[in-house]
Structure 1
Amino acid sequence: LGLDRLDLVYLRVGGMTGPGGESIAERFEVLAGLREEGLIRHLGVSNVDAGQFAEARSIAPVAAVQNQHADDMAMLAECEEAGIAYVPYFPLGGGGNPLDAERLGKVAARLGATTTQVQLASLLAFSPSLLAIPGTGSLDHLEENMAAGGLVLTAEDLAVLRG
């Protein structure tokens, strides 16, 4: 990479089935040491449960949590309170979360946007701590995703989307 320091490094825990509940102290302490040496600017944790998140925070500051579900309200609330970014992976359902096409379609039609853009805009409107990182395979798709940041959802739109 040619960098003297990495801006953000995540400790990923567990597999695709979720965190296993094991202690992460030893591994996170190693990353914390690299942070203290100046090789890493910020630390994050990925695929963790509440206990592992608390354990990491007791060792070093945590800048971001990257878990699969955008609907983990307890974790999101804790991140909001602490000023920590919450970054759900598969934010558009790629991990198996079903999308409600009817509700998304209703709002998308009103805004002249795609359902994907509306879903991204709703994630961004949901919490100031929530960051969406949708995948893309083309510049056109990237531009479509970026345009979602300019959508303004009304309170009525959000009520429709949240059902």
Structure 2
Amino acid sequence: MMLSDKVWRINLINVNKKYVHYYLKSASGRKEIETRANGNQASMRNISQKAFQDIIIPIPPIKEQYEIVRHIEDALDTINSILTHKQATLEELNQLDRSILAKAFRGELVPQDPNDEPAAVLLERIRAEREQTSSNKQRGKTTRKNSSKQLSIAHGRPEVNDLE
């Protein structure tokens, strides 16, 4: 048996060692250990060999102990299998995210309209409109102080109109 800085050899007669191990790791077993441990800090708590020997462990018949251990180990195997499957699924989702993004950037997610202007043309038009807006703002600062602007979207394209 190993508990933090202690190693004890425990001789068990007619008791399944794995059963005792699983019991001491269970909530009930940990509570037994914690109630007998002494020390004032959680990281420095200690249990004496005498206090450890006083722990009451419910001991069913030996056949039942083996059956309990088998159920625990089957459950642990199932949990490990689920965790492995979960990890594989998360990796698949990450790969799917990357492939969806790649398709989106290649324009393969939705049917493309052949009448749409190419992205390079759209970007050039936006750049030109920004330059135009920027030069209008510079002129507006010197000639008009209280001008208002209205943003409208006509034919799917944003336009900035001066209001007078």
- TM-score bracket, normalised by the shorter chain, equals under 0.3
TM-score (norm 1): 0.15
Larger-Rg structure = 2
Work out which structure has the larger RCO, using CA pairs closer than 8 Å and 6 or more positions apart in sequence.
1
TM-score (norm 2): 0.15
More helix by share: 2
